[in-house]
Structure 1
């Protein structure tokens, strides 16, 4: 895998277009890591990620900020890890901006049951790979030429 710092957050968002689920990892009350799938509402221009979260979830604590990580993968060719600080926003106007038809399916009691989870990103790390067929060709080429296969690229974007 080669390192390539030429990708931008916009490039990665384009690659992830349509992927709406992230695994959000936080530190739980025992000090261990705990992850859960959440639907991504939006990203902003700074690389922050926004989720709607059940107000009553035992891991939601209004007024606190904690280290967190969101992991997103598309159809197997792009993996993104977004590290930052998570806080929960109880702002009816922001909640209204984020609310959509899909949100109603997750929150049958309406928007009053949700708060906005805001992952303020510090960095995006990414790994990309070509299709499986291209990877096979690269591995075969490497066997006959003694060259390292080109199976993708990786990089870090500080935000």
Structure 2
């Protein structure tokens, strides 16, 4: 059962992530993982990225929209499974456009090749990290006592 605490943990990890990794299936059937700059998310179930319509990625996602997006921060790790949708919402694109988008993409938000990729999440598996010091202590404890270290909570959230 999903709790608000679990959704909050997932949201915290996602917010602290600067670069997420999007995995999708290419038109040739191979799995492809590509880094994507975090733009925004309304809640853990809806995330946004900026991309180019003419990219192989968009062509592949229009053929098979199933994706996984992984997030990693000091707070932990999230694996978000969901569906990708290409969006021409110019107002949202202008809202999300920032210096990092301008550094990687030409033409600005008015360029018709610049589009949004909205990911609607179905589930999010997460691991909440106790932090570097906590992990080091638990690893040392595991080595000294031959017991399994407690490296944080792991669970799956339905979004």
TM-score, normalised with respect to structure 2? 0.82
Q: Write out per-residue CA displacement over residues 15-40 of structure 1, whole angstroms, 9 at most, x where no aligned residue.
A: 44342211100111111211110111
Shift of residue 103, structure 1, vs aligned partner: 1.7
- Structure 2 distance, partners of 1:132, 1:94, is 37
The alpha-carbon deviation at position 141 of structure 1 amounts to 3.2
The answer to whether the Cα contact below 8 Å between 2:65 and 2:83 also exists between their aligned partners in 1 is: yes
Which of the two has greater helix per residue?
2
Which 5+ residue runs of structure 2 have no aligned equivalent? none
> Counterpart in 2 of 1:13?
11
Q: Identify if the C-alpha distance between structure 1 residues 142 and 25 changes in structure 2 by more than 3 Å, giving closer, same or farther.
A: closer
- 135-144 or 98-107, larger mean C-alpha shift: 135-144
The equivalent residue for 1:70 is 69
Aligned match of 1:44: 42
Change (3 A) 1:89 1:104: same
Cα RMSD (Å) of the superposition? 2.5
Between 1:107-116 and 1:15-24, the stretch displaced more is 15-24
Distance between the aligned counterparts of 1:91 and 1:49, measured in 2? 14
Task: Verify: 1:152 aligned to 2:152, yes or no.
Answer: yes
- How far apart in 2 are the matches of 1:149 and 1:84? 31
Deviations 1:53-101 (A, max 9, x none): 01221221386661001011114x5111110001101121221222223
CA contact (8 A) 1:64 1:87 kept: no
Q: Which residue of 2 aligns with 1:133?
A: 133
Rounded to whole Å, the distance in 1 between the matches of 2:144 and 2:86 is: 54
Change in Cα spacing, 1:42 to 1:142, as seen in structure 2 (3 Å) is same
Question: 138-147 vs 19-28, which deviates more?
Answer: 138-147
TM-score by length of 1: 0.82
Q: Indicate conservation of the 8 Å contact 1:87/1:117, yes or no.
A: yes
